[in-house]
Amino acid sequence: MSENILNSLKSRGDQTVLHTLGITIESAEKELVRLSMPVNERVHQYTGLLHGGVSVVLAETAASIGAALNTDLTRYTPVGVEINANHLRTVSKGTVTAEARPVYLGRQMSVWNIEIKDERERLISVARCTLALKAGSALEEGKP
């Protein structure tokens, strides 16, 4: 099932935020999801730095993939319901990497911690994301 989820995400091409922001799935397991994203003018705020909102998108994307890997998608659809983030350091170029790890994997929700680091392994942002497991299949047409 997890390969199907990842293949579906990768095959949707320019229809997802992964393509729009240049996010790459480096690895995805039930206990650790690792994504990377280039930092360039496409993701800058007006000062030429990585936009904090883009960091939050990267964090929630990592948590959502992790939740999907831990959920029976024939019965439930993981949906983000809350995220908070602290931006600790700025970055203007290079690549950032998000690593998401589960804090809690329940029947109705999952909670994930996400760390975003720069190429020198310096912590850029930390986030916590809560996803509800909504009744209904995530495998319907148009979904992963």
The residue among 29, 89, 91, 22 whose CA lies nearest residue 58 is 22
Catalytic-residue membership of 141: no
**Residues 117, 123, 125, 131: is their CA dihedral positive or negative?**
positive
Q: How far apart are CA 34 and CA 62, in angstroms?
A: 7
Q: What are phi and psi of 4, to 5 degrees?
A: -60, -40
Check 41, 60, 115, 121 and give the catalytic one.
60
User: Exposed (0-12), middle (13-18) or buried (19+): which is 22, by Cβ within 10 Å?
Assistant: middle
Residues serving a catalytic function are 60
